[in-house]
Amino acid sequence: MPGYLRAFSLALAGFSLTPAAAAQTRPDEKAFFDLYKELVETNTVVNQGSCTRAAQQIATRMKAAGYTDKDLVLFSTPEHPDDGGLVATLPGSDPNKGAMLLLGHLDVVAAKREDWERDPFKLIEENGFYYARGAVDDKAMSSIWADAMIRFRQQGFRPKRTIKLALTCGEETTFAFNGAEWLAKNRPELVRADFVLNEGGGGRLDARGKPQALAIQVGEKAAQNFTFLATNPGGHSSAPTPANAIYELADALKRVQAYEFPVKFTDTTRAFFAASAKALPAPASAAVKRLMANPRDAAADAIVSQDKVLHSTLRTTCVATLVNAGHAENALPQRASANVNCRIFPGETVDGTLAKLQELAGSKVSVTANQPVRPIAVPPPLDPAIMGPVKALAEKHFPGVPVVPMMSTGATDGVFFGILNMPVYGVPGLFLEPDLNGTHGLNERIRVSSLYAGRDYLFDLAKTLAD
- Write out pLDDT tens, residues 106-164: 999 999 999 999 999 999 999 999 999 999 999 999 999 999 999 999 999 999 999 99
The residue type of 391 is K
Q: Could you give the dihedral angle defined by the CA atoms of residues 108, 114, 117 and 123, in that order, rounded to the nearest 10 degrees?
A: 40
Give the residue from 9, 125, 93, 191 showing the smallest Cα distance to 467: 93
pTM of the model: 0.85
Specify the pLDDT at position 379.
81
Every domain of the chain with CATH number 3.30.70.360 lies at: 222-369
pLDDT band at residue 277 using 50, 70 and 90 as cut-offs: confident
12-220+377-466 belongs to which homologous superfamily? Answer: Zn peptidases (3.40.630.10)
Give 5-54 pLDDT, tens digit per residue.
433 433 333 445 544 344 678 899 999 999 999 999 999 999 999 999 99
pLDDT at 85 over 70: yes
CB 213 within 8 A of CB 311: no
- 3 state DSSP class of 319: strand
CATH topology of domain 222-369: Alpha-Beta Plaits (3.30.70)
What is the overall mean pLDDT for the chain? 92
| Mean pLDDT (whole number) for 355-383 | 92
Rounded percentage of the chain residues whose pLDDT exceeds 70: 95
CB 380 within 8 A of CB 425: yes
Instruction: Decide which of 1 and 330 is more confident.
Output: 330
Give 222-248 pLDDT, tens digit per residue.
889 999 999 999 999 999 999 999 999
φ, ψ for residue 270, nearest 5 deg: -65, -40
CA atoms within 13 A on the CB side of 10: 9
Every domain of the chain with CATH number 3.40.630.10 lies at: 12-220+377-466
Specify the pLDDT at position 184.
97
pLDDT band at residue 3 using 50, 70 and 90 as cut-offs: very low
Euclidean distance between CA atoms 198 and 103, whole angstroms: 5
Give 173-217 pLDDT, tens digit per residue.
888 899 999 999 999 999 999 999 999 999 988 888 889 889 999
Give 65-75 pLDDT, tens digit per residue.
999 999 999 99
Euclidean distance between CA atoms 401 and 394, whole angstroms: 7
- The set of long-range contacts for 439-442, using a CB threshold of 8 Å and a minimum separation of 24, is 439/136, 439/137, 440/109, 440/137, 442/115, 442/116, 442/117
Exposure string for 313-341, b = 16+ CB within 10 A, e = fewer: bbbbbbebeeeebbeeeeebbbbbbbebb
Give 101-120 pLDDT, tens digit per residue.
999 999 999 999 999 999 99
